Structure 1
């Protein structure tokens, strides 16, 4: 982690990528190391601007280059989540307690066949799915849910100015309460 930026509070600078196709479906990558699904994401290196990190991660994780996408929106600020204690590497210095992420909403302007998972030595994903707008909140590991919901809300307004798709009725009440609280902070 020596080339990555961890701030004074212990948050690792990171970018998140929400890739949308022409049908307004979102790409979820299937992680090689588990059965989990998530958006592409990755750390911002020292002396690297977030947009540079985004294009680097876009290429490393899904094989796309700048001409394959159009930037639709970027979150106004870093969105943070804390790692559960079992994921904190206590022997690392500085200690990383979580991530602060700048999120990018991208539209895929190339063919879906341009997506490739073999552009780096250690691929993150081995498959993908195109899903409806709020579905990623259901799929991501529990400690990233609030950040996903907040990023989708903020970035989705650029694609759905008339109003976001309705949230799933199946969300537990605790998710809805957290979501409403986070949205109030954005307003």
Structure 2
């Protein structure tokens, strides 16, 4: 594989979804060999608005309709992560070295019955609501720093 640092970052939208109890939605990835949980996230299509992409990805991954969420905040800056070297060239057809993500904090206005991870192209095999501060403990190691940065970006809105 050539130098991974020569590859661009994949543009992506990430969603931190808070329920009424201040807990965050996480899904357990269907394709992971380890117990990997993450917040909903996905690619931004060419010319697509990042917030529109976030809402689309939320629907595609969780079945949650835009009517069941309200925007609380947007991270001031894009956040980045690099793939581990052994994954560069294997995921996303080898086109990206990692992701540059625009993060959105939404409040979930619905009920658990409004969540349906059995979507057309399922990404999660299980889901849960967890305390925000535990996010870095459940994500794959190479995304832990990213999740700490997401928590820092939304800290003013997470205080109880």
What is the DSSP-based 3-state SS (H/G/I as helix, E as strand, rest coil) of the residue aligned with 1:134? helix
TM superposition outliers: structure 1 runs of 4+ over 2 Å: 90-95
Q: Which residue of 1 aligns with 2:80?
A: 80
Equivalences for residues 116-131 of structure 1 within 5 A: 116-120=116-120, 122-131=121-130
Structure 2 unmatched ranges of 5 or more? 1-5
Give the direction of change, closer, same or farther, for the CA distance of 1:9–1:77 in structure 2 (3 Å limit).
farther
Give the direction of change, closer, same or farther, for the CA distance of 1:92–1:44 in structure 2 (3 Å limit).
closer
Counterpart CA distance in 2 for 1:25 and 1:147 is: 18
| Cα displacement (A) at 1:78 | 0.6
Counterpart CA distance in 2 for 1:15 and 1:158 is: 19
Counterpart CA distance in 2 for 1:156 and 1:73 is: 11
**Structure having greater relative contact order (Cα 8 Å, sep ≥ 6):** 2
TM-score by length of 1: 0.76
Structure 1 unmatched ranges of 5 or more? 1-7, 166-187
| 1:10/1:94 contact within 8 Å kept | no
Q: Which residue of 2 aligns with 1:171?
A: none
Residue 11 (structure 1) aligned with residue 30 (structure 2): no
Aligned partner of 1:31 among 29, 36, 39 = 29
TM-score by length of 2: 0.88
Name the larger-Rg structure: 1
| 2:7/2:95 contact within 8 Å kept | no
Quick check: which one's strand share is greater? 2
| 1:30/1:127 contact within 8 Å kept | yes
* Equivalent residue pairs, number: 153
